[in-house]
């Protein structure tokens, strides 16, 4: 399964401890320095897909209507794979001088 | 109306299952976002509406792909889309022809079988999109439809002109329906209903298309509309209108009528073929 940009950020937000809708939206915005803002529709579209793929799962609710989500082992593994792919891309960009060297 | 009530009403844009599953949580998220908003009300609502339109469209597409709708709805939409796509492709061909125009090409006309092949490819392409999962009919289906429609239209133009649009439809429909039956019979027993459905559908589609376009264009613009522009006389039938893009209509209302007629044409095909196709599917499940 190929993760979209929103889905990857959502996995990162859930990994960072954000567990419910509003907190995830805030975390995604913070992670991207305000470049990626997602609304409730985009968020729950992504959550639905990630739940169906078994990358996240629901956990005990902390309120009447509020539901929370956590990463599954499969989600963590796919997230790591995606991050590794991005890391390789950045390394290639550095090698070609597109980005300044890390040191 | 309060913002919460407005957003709650806008949630109706989502498919029912999605709304039922996530509507409450989306409402909570909306309330928290509204309380914490740092920008003006207009910017906030533009953001919310863009998010809502984009994600609700995505959900409807997903719901359609997951095939939760009845087969009849899928088939009707497929056929209507097929009609519109054929018209669009015809316009693309017209545009390419005018773009690559050279005086040497003056007087060059596409033979009737060329129009037929074009129509057959469009028809076969959209039908195979729906039928492929059940019968594994892909390229063979498209090729069969194209060859049959090419032969059918050539025969119709040569011999069936006197019978008018219905004659064209019967000949064209018999060729296409018969050829598709040859493919279908290798995958399902008693597929003969398909021939009847295909013939009836194309006859009805051609007749309804002819009547609709004639009446509408004459009603809208009685002086500029000239059916005799399509020569030879045998072409002066609805079959020409099925590929009217090749005639190069440029006026807005001409194009609007053309696309509306192609949609109606697709829906007529769907209405007539859905029953025999459903019975073919039912027999497939029994086999």
**Is residue B42 pLDDT above 60, yes or no?**
yes
Q: Would you tell me how many other CB atoms lie within 10 Å of the CB of residue A97? A: 8
- Helices B193-220 and B252-286, packing angle to 10 deg: 170
Q: How far apart are CA B283 and CA B181, in angstroms?
A: 15
B25 contacts in chain A (CB < 8 Å) = 20-21, 40, 44, 65-67
Q: How far apart are CA B202 and CA B278, in angstroms?
A: 18
Q: How far apart are CA B176 and CA B199, in angstroms?
A: 8
Phi, psi of B70 (to 5 degrees): -60, 150
CA within 13 Å, CB half, B49 = 8
- pLDDT by residue (tens digit) across B207-219? 666 665 555 555 5
Band (B268; pLDDT cuts 50, 70, 90): confident
CA angle, residues A11, A12, A18, in degrees to nearest 5: 90
Give every CB contact of residue A92 below 8 A, 6+ residues apart in sequence: none
Q: At A70, which helix (H) or strand (E)?
A: strand A68-71
Mean pLDDT of B226-243: 46
CA distance B127 to chain A (A): 29
- pLDDT by residue (tens digit) across A8-65? 999 999 998 777 888 999 999 999 998 999 999 999 999 999 999 999 998 876 665 6
A62 contacts in chain B (CB < 8 Å) = none
**Is residue B229 pLDDT above 50, yes or no?**
no
pLDDT at A11: 93
pLDDT at B224: 46
Q: What is the mean pLDDT of chain B?
A: 73
Q: Closest residue of B to A39, CA-based?
A: B51
Give every CB contact of residue B20 below 8 A, 6+ residues apart in sequence: none
CA angle, residues B19, B20, B23, in degrees to nearest 5: 50
Phi, psi of A69 (to 5 degrees): -130, 150
CA within 13 Å, CB half, B116 = 25
ipTM over 0.90: no
pLDDT at A74: 94
Band (B221; pLDDT cuts 50, 70, 90): very low
**Better-predicted residue by pLDDT, B206 or B144:** B144
- pLDDT by residue (tens digit) across B130-156? 676 666 667 888 888 889 888 888 887
pLDDT at B233: 44
Structure tokens at B78: 């497929």
Assign domain A5-95 to its CATH architecture: Orthogonal Bundle (1.10)
Q: Where are the domains of chain A?
A: 5-95
User: Which residue among A40, A45, A48 places its CB closest to the CB of B29?
Assistant: A40
Q: How far apart are CA B61 and CA B65, in angstroms?
A: 6
**Better-predicted residue by pLDDT, B27 or B246:** B27
**Is residue B239 pLDDT above 60, yes or no?**
no
Give me the percent of chain B exceeding a pLDDT of 70: 57
**Better-predicted residue by pLDDT, B188 or A25:** A25
Mean pLDDT lowest for which of B37-51, B119-133, B226-240?
B226-240
DSSP 8-state assignment for residue A4: P
Mean pLDDT of B4-8: 91
pLDDT at A67: 83
Which residues of B fall below an 8 Å CB-CB distance to A? 14, 18, 21-22, 24-26, 28-30, 32-33, 47-48, 50-52, 54-56, 58-59
Under a CB-based contact definition with an 8 Å cutoff, are residues B180 and B145 in contact? yes
**Better-predicted residue by pLDDT, B137 or B43:** B43
């Amino acid at each position: 399964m190929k993760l979209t940009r929103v889905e990857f950020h959502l996995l990162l937000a859930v990994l960072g401890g954000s567990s419910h809708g509003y907190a995830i939206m805030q975390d995604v915005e913070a992670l991207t320095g305000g470049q990626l803002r997602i609304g409730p529709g985009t968020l729950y579209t992504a959550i639905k897909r990630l739940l169906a793929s078994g990358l996240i799962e629901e956990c005990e609710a902390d309120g009447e209507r509020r539901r929370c989500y956590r990463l599954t082992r499969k989600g963590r593994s796919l997230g790591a794979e995606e991050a590794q792919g991005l890391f390789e891309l950045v390394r290639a960009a550095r090698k070609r001088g597109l980005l300044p060297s890390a040191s | 109306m309060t913002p919460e009530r407005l957003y709650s009403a806008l949630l109706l844009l989502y498919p029912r299952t999605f709304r039922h599953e996530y509507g409450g949580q989306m409402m909570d998220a909306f309330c928290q976002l509204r309380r914490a908003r740092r920008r003006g009300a207009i910017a906030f609502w533009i953001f919310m509406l863009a998010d809502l339109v984009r994600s609700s469209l995505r959900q409807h597409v997903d719901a359609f792909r997951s095939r939760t709708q009845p087969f009849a709805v899928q088939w009707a939409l497929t056929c209507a889309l097929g009609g519109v796509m054929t018209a669009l492709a015809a316009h693309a061909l017209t545009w390419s022809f005018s773009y690559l125009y050279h005086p040497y090409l003056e007087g060059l006309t596409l033979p009737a079988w060329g129009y037929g092949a074009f129509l057959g490819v469009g028809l076969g392409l959209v039908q195979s999109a729906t039928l492929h999962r059940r019968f594994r009919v892909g390229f063979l289906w498209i090729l069969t439809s194209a060859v049959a429609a090419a032969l059918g239209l050539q025969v119709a133009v040569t011999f069936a002109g006197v019978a008018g649009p219905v004659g064209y439809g019967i000949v064209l429909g018999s060729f296409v329906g018969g050829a598709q039956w040859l493919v279908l019979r290798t995958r399902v027993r008693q597929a003969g209903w398909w021939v009847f459905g295909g013939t009836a559908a194309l006859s009805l589609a051609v007749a309804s298309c002819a009547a609709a376009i004639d009446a509408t264009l004459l009603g809208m613009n009685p002086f500029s509309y000239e059916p005799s522009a399509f020569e030879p006389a045998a072409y002066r039938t609805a079959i020409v209108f099925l590929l009217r893009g090749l005639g190069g209509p440029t006026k807005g209302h001409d194009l609007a009528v053309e696309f509306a007629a192609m949609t109606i044409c697709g829906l007529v095909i769907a209405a007539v073929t859905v029953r025999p196709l459903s019975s073919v599917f039912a027999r497939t499940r029994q086999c």
